[in-house]
Amino acid sequence: EIVLTQSPGTLSLSPGERATLSCRASQSVSSSYLAWYQQKPGQAPRLLIYGASSRATGIPDRFSGSGSGTDFTLTISRLEPEDFAVYYCQQYGSSPELTFGGGTKVEIK
Amino acid sequence: QVQLVESGGGLVKPGGSLRLSCAASGFTFSDYYMSWIRQAPGKGLEWVSYISSSGSTIYYADSVKGRFTISRDNAKNSLYLQMNSLRAEDTAVYYCARAGYSYPADYWGQGTLVTVSS
């Protein structure tokens, strides 16, 4: 099973700042199969990024994904008030067991 | 528009059983892998199981293997999760998602809460 470790656990930032979230895999993950999700309290998660760097339908271009191998990054270029949430990475094709990272909470400073 | 609506959650005693259902609409259900993903209270996401479009390929997380059974009825546009020998640690919101091996979860249901407690 591929273990995904997200850091930091919590990121305290102000609106307008840049957020950089990390997802590290225990073994190499094909870039084709790395996704990022956003979850707000009481809501189902929403797909932001798939294939490591492709934005899902309707996702603003302030969200971008990058990385390869074992290190992946989600960047939010300028935080909007609605971006404060929990973010999860997921691998969905490098091993039969689909796995999620533990999440990063982006909170208002 | 794509809709996934789960049902069947509730309170069950340890060792008991429950069957979750997910009604899909707005897309050709028989073309897609489907998954169950859960989230314990205050915790992160945990993938539970997926099933291929035809039902021929099924995979489970080790935590539920041998206790849970995923199935689908393409004629009814429905996904199911039969949960047996339930434990306290199975307490979670269970989401149905259009997702599977090599497919990210692009649509999610609103979730159904399963509580395992005596």
Give the SS3 label for residue A76.
strand
What confidence score (pLDDT) does residue A31 get? 75
Measured from the Cβ of residue A17, the count of other Cβ atoms closer than 10 Å reads 14
Per residue in B9-44, pLDDT tens? 999 999 999 999 999 999 999 999 999 999 999 999
Dist CA B24 CA B3 (whole Å): 6
Q: Label residue A1 by pLDDT band (50, 70, 90).
A: confident
A55 forms beta bridges with: A49
Rounded to the nearest angstrom, the minimum Cα separation between A77 and chain B is: 23
What confidence score (pLDDT) does residue B106 get? 96
Per residue in B43-99, pLDDT tens? 999 999 999 999 999 999 999 999 999 999 999 999 999 999 999 999 999 999 999
Across chain A, what does the average pLDDT equal?
A: 95
Task: Please give the residue of chain B at the shortest CA–CA distance from A9.
Answer: B44
Per residue in A21-46, pLDDT tens? 999 999 999 878 999 999 999 999 99
Nearest to A33 among B46, B62, B102 (CB): B102
What confidence score (pLDDT) does residue A96 get? 84
Q: Which of B102, B107, B112, B113 to mutate to test the interface with A (most CBs of A within 10 A)?
A: B102
Q: Could you give the percent of chain A with pLDDT greater than 90?
A: 91
Is residue A14 within 8 Å of residue A81, measured between CB atoms? no
